[in-house]
Amino acid sequence: MAYAAIASLMNTIQQSMESTGLVLQLFYQKLESLRAIMENPCNITGDHEALTSLEAQIAELADEAEYKVDLESRNIVMPENEKKQRRAFVNLYSLVKEVVGRIDSTMKKWMAIQNKLKNIQNLSLVSTSRHGLEPEDKMVGLENEFKIMQDQLARGARELEVVSIVGMGGIGKTTLANKIYSDPFIMSHFDIRAKATLSQEYCARNVLLGLLSSISGKTNEFHEQQDDDQLADRLQKLLKCGRYLVVIDDIWTREAWDDIRRCFSDCNNGSRILMTTRNVEVAECASSGKTPYHMRLMNFDESWSLLYEKVFVKDCYSPEFEQLGKTIALNCGGLPLALVLIAGLLSKIGKSLDEWKSIVKNHYLGEEISSSFAVDIPPSISSLCYLQTIILRLLQPNARQYPLVLPNEILTMPQLRHLHLDWNYLQYHGPTQKSLVLKNLQCLSGLNPWHCTRSVFRQFPNLKKLQICGIWEDFRSRKDLYEFHYLDKLEELDFVLTYSCYACFLESITSSGLLRFTRQKRQAILLERPSRALPPTESFPYSILPPPDAFPQNLKKLAFYGTCLQWNDLSIVGKLPKLEALKLGISACIGVEWKVVKDGFPSLKFLLLERLKVRYWRASCDHFPCLERLFLEHCWNLDSIPQDFADITTLALIDIRWCAESVGNSAKQIQQDILNNYASFMEVNIHEPQNKQRGPSSSVALPTISI
């Protein structure tokens, strides 16, 4: 989740550099190095709560930043005047620097916890049925690699050597290793052969059982009565009986290698170990100074040859199908596993030309579709029944004018845990015989207001985090129809009203699930002037908030972005009994004065105000009796923090970024009053007061905002 969010943010920053000309390369490179760290999975058993929480923070930081970078980039490209354009340049540079600093800070915490827990790491052997996903029966384009590997294994020094194959998942490492393992020349050269397939989670005992079983031909049950030391001793004795070849497939960590390498004695007889891994560090550590072999992607001719072998050899197809097949092969990007999976799909749909064209059209989910209202996601996505995370983003700027259209089949994926979507609509027409209760779904980001209904929510009984995202027309269409009380496990809820250049919006959904769209004249709508997106009343004619009793009663975290609420609408939020964190992001509320009503926010511990135009904040300590952390960011017009906050005895931190100097002064006064009146210390962090520094900020250590 964090890896994908960082990658998506990098893509948005790259697009921003291209469109605005602002140099952000240093921050881009920093994100690239952080993404590389996240690419190496965490293989630690036990309590993952701390790591998972930090990963969620990283993903949240990246997702929020992506939205803001996109917005500020539009403010530069389509400015109202030169002054606002200059300010947008400063805002964009500051924003990117700030979020990269926060992500880096959180990553350091994540790495520290991971290192502490490595001592209890436990990896487990997985079934060799995984090989069914790899193109074992047909090796295309690896003839030269095969000869190189064969030569390294059968010739060379008499000392034990490790030969490593490195590459991303699905690139064909296992295919090559299996081909070598079963090659007649290799079989005759080595007296003993053993093979074990590992995965992200690994248990030494299962590896020992697998290797012993492949050597002796006896099942694992034969060795089950022996402990791990006895199994290791038995394996060492068997391997000393002759020249051996051991294949260790898909090893993930150095610790796993260090744990099992003790079983492989060097008998000075030319024995070899063949290892496949996605981790270059593991390969270099195991190869004892020898350069690991890096798998390459297949070229077009090899890709087409593999797809042809899987699909066209089995049946007779017209030239038109072959031309479409070549386009599909090209779109697979040289990944053998992708080719095998798409070949299986093509074989199932048979000779339906329209279906083949649909696959060609939708193979790149982020591709701009200029000839239609929306970007259709094929129903065949539901065939990935073991998929746990789906992230669908419209990467091309022009494609964001059109929504994603999701098939109803996406609600038939039982293992789905995380679903992250750009602006979308669901072709949903009520539960079907194939519809499932998605008990594993915990995080749903990007649900359109159209689908905040009873029939949808009842399919997510264990949902913990929900983001509702849409354009103005989407929210207007669902007035007072939220059915949140069906989500009794929900703890975190975000409302995001996006202002983008959109070419159409949903007008209605028929009883059969057919979506009817209305064209919208393309226009740029800036949050600096939100009334452009609204009806002539200059503000929303009603609040998009549901009544208090419609909210999930276990809700702990709530956020609003772009929603243009009236400040008095927040009285509804204050009535939520367990609300501990509230984020009011860019244009969440409009108006220059926030006068907190009588009851306030009795349970609130965390409050963030970001890029709001509020000037006067009228509140007392009674309105926020439990507040612990207050964050103010880019609230340019805010005059001060209510001085009565000095009597909030729980207040531990005020963090101010790019606000007026008077705001920082009021925070210091509160700090001094707390020290004088209660002999207690409250931390105050002030970054870049508005009227002290206008340019890009100097290097400042930025703490992570976590709730």
pLDDT of residue 131: 35
Q: What share of the chain is helix, strand, coil (3-state, %, to 5)?
A: 45, 15, 40
**The token pair that represents 108 in the structure block:** 């350091």
CATH class of the region 556-687: alpha beta
pLDDT of residue 128: 32
**The token pair that represents 647 in the structure block:** 């009597």
Model confidence pTM above 0.75: no
Identify the top-confidence range among 228-242, 407-421, 456-470: 456-470
Range with lowest mean pLDDT among 434-443, 550-559, 654-663 = 434-443
DSSP lists the bridge partners of residue 277 as: 166, 251
What number is the average pLDDT over the span 198-215? Answer: 75
pLDDT of residue 309: 84
Domain ranges of the chain: 1-117, 143-294, 299-363, 377-491+498-520, 556-687
Whole-number Å distance between alpha carbons of 705 and 687: 14
Backbone angles phi, psi at 163, to 5 degrees: -110, 125
Q: Pick the residue with more confidence: 201 or 276?
A: 276
Whole-number Å distance between alpha carbons of 509 and 517: 9
Question: Do the beta carbons of residue 619 and residue 98 sit within 8 Å?
Answer: no
pLDDT of residue 609: 96
Task: Label residue 610 by pLDDT band (50, 70, 90).
Answer: very high
For the chain, percent of residues with pLDDT exceeding 90: 18
Whole-number Å distance between alpha carbons of 252 and 637: 52
Tell me the DSSP string of 39-68.
HS-----S--HHHHHHHHHHHHHHHHHHHH
pLDDT of residue 617: 96
Task: Label residue 383 by pLDDT band (50, 70, 90).
Answer: low
Whole-number Å distance between alpha carbons of 286 and 583: 48
Q: Pick the residue with more confidence: 592 or 83?
A: 592
Whole-number Å distance between alpha carbons of 466 and 148: 51
The H or E element containing residue 174 is helix 173-181
pLDDT of residue 108: 81
3-class secondary structure, 150 = helix
Radius of gyration (C-alpha) of the chain in whole angstroms: 29
Q: Which among 594, 3, 92 is positioned nearest to 574, based on CA atoms?
A: 594
Whole-number Å distance between alpha carbons of 457 and 438: 10
Q: pLDDT tens digits, residue range 615-652?
A: 999 999 999 999 999 999 999 999 999 999 999 999 99
Question: Is 50 exceeded by the pLDDT of residue 613?
Answer: yes
Whole-number Å distance between alpha carbons of 695 and 71: 19
**The token pair that represents 699 in the structure block:** 């290097």
Backbone angles phi, psi at 51, to 5 degrees: -65, -45
Question: Is 60 exceeded by the pLDDT of residue 584?
Answer: yes
Identify the top-confidence range among 75-89, 188-202, 364-378, 673-687: 673-687
Residue 252 CA, chain-centre distance (Å), reads: 20
Q: Pick the residue with more confidence: 358 or 656?
A: 656
Backbone angles phi, psi at 532, to 5 degrees: -60, -25
What number is the average pLDDT over the span 55-67? Answer: 80
**The token pair that represents 444 in the structure block:** 């749903």
Tell me the DSSP string of 428-460.
--S--TT----TT--EEEEE-GGG-SHHHHTT-
Question: Is 90 exceeded by the pLDDT of residue 614?
Answer: yes
Task: Label residue 3 by pLDDT band (50, 70, 90).
Answer: low
Q: What integer best gives the mean pLDDT of the chain?
A: 76
pLDDT of residue 701: 32
Whole-number Å distance between alpha carbons of 629 and 348: 56
Q: pLDDT tens digits, residue range 470-508?
A: 887 787 766 555 678 788 899 999 998 876 555 456 666
CA torsion, ordered 654, 657, 661, 667, to nearest 10 deg: 0
Question: Is 60 exceeded by the pLDDT of residue 555?
Answer: yes
For the chain, percent of residues with pLDDT exceeding 70: 74
Q: Pick the residue with more confidence: 80 or 62?
A: 62
Whole-number Å distance between alpha carbons of 502 and 272: 60
pLDDT of residue 15: 80
pLDDT of residue 116: 65
Question: Is 60 exceeded by the pLDDT of residue 192?
Answer: yes
pLDDT of residue 56: 76
Using a 10 angstrom Cβ sphere, with 0-12 exposed, 13-18 middle and 19 or more buried, the burial of residue 312 is middle
Angle at 483 between CA 479 and CA 487, to 5 degrees: 145
Measured between alpha carbons, how far is residue 358 from residues 300, 332, 391 in Å? 21, 15, 20
Question: Do the beta carbons of residue 612 and residue 636 sit within 8 Å?
Answer: no
Q: Pick the residue with more confidence: 577 or 124?
A: 577
Q: Do 1-117 and 556-687 share a fold? A: no
Task: Label residue 518 by pLDDT band (50, 70, 90).
Answer: low
> E strands of 404-563, at which residues?
404-406, 418-421, 424-426, 443-447, 465-470, 492-497, 504-509, 515-519, 557-561
Q: Pick the residue with more confidence: 251 or 134?
A: 251
DSSP lists the bridge partners of residue 492 as: 465, 557
Question: Do the beta carbons of residue 5 and residue 65 sit within 8 Å?
Answer: no
What number is the average pLDDT over the span 387-413? Answer: 68
Measured between alpha carbons, how far is residue 545 from residues 453, 476, 531, 540, 564 in Å? 15, 11, 19, 11, 11
Residue 343 CA, chain-centre distance (Å), reads: 27
Question: Do the beta carbons of residue 344 and residue 372 sit within 8 Å?
Answer: no
143-294: CATH topology is Rossmann fold (3.40.50)
pLDDT of residue 297: 80
Q: Which among 655, 508, 542, 527 is positioned nearest to 98, based on CA atoms?
A: 655
Whole-number Å distance between alpha carbons of 445 and 375: 18
Q: Pick the residue with more confidence: 383 or 606?
A: 606
CATH class of the region 1-117: mainly alpha
pLDDT of residue 500: 54
Whole-number Å distance between alpha carbons of 470 and 443: 17
Question: Do the beta carbons of residue 596 and residue 607 sit within 8 Å?
Answer: no
Measured between alpha carbons, how far is residue 108 from residues 49, 54, 66, 72 in Å? 16, 10, 21, 28
**The token pair that represents 555 in the structure block:** 């809700």
Whole-number Å distance between alpha carbons of 166 and 283: 7
Q: Pick the residue with more confidence: 664 or 417?
A: 664
Measured between alpha carbons, how far is residue 281 from residues 37, 273, 291 in Å? 12, 17, 11
Q: What angle, rounded to 10 degrees, do the helices at 353-362 and 319-331 form?
A: 20
Q: Pick the residue with more confidence: 457 or 699?
A: 457
Measured between alpha carbons, how far is residue 100 from residues 27, 73, 93, 159, 701 in Å? 7, 17, 11, 48, 11
**The token pair that represents 481 in the structure block:** 């129809």
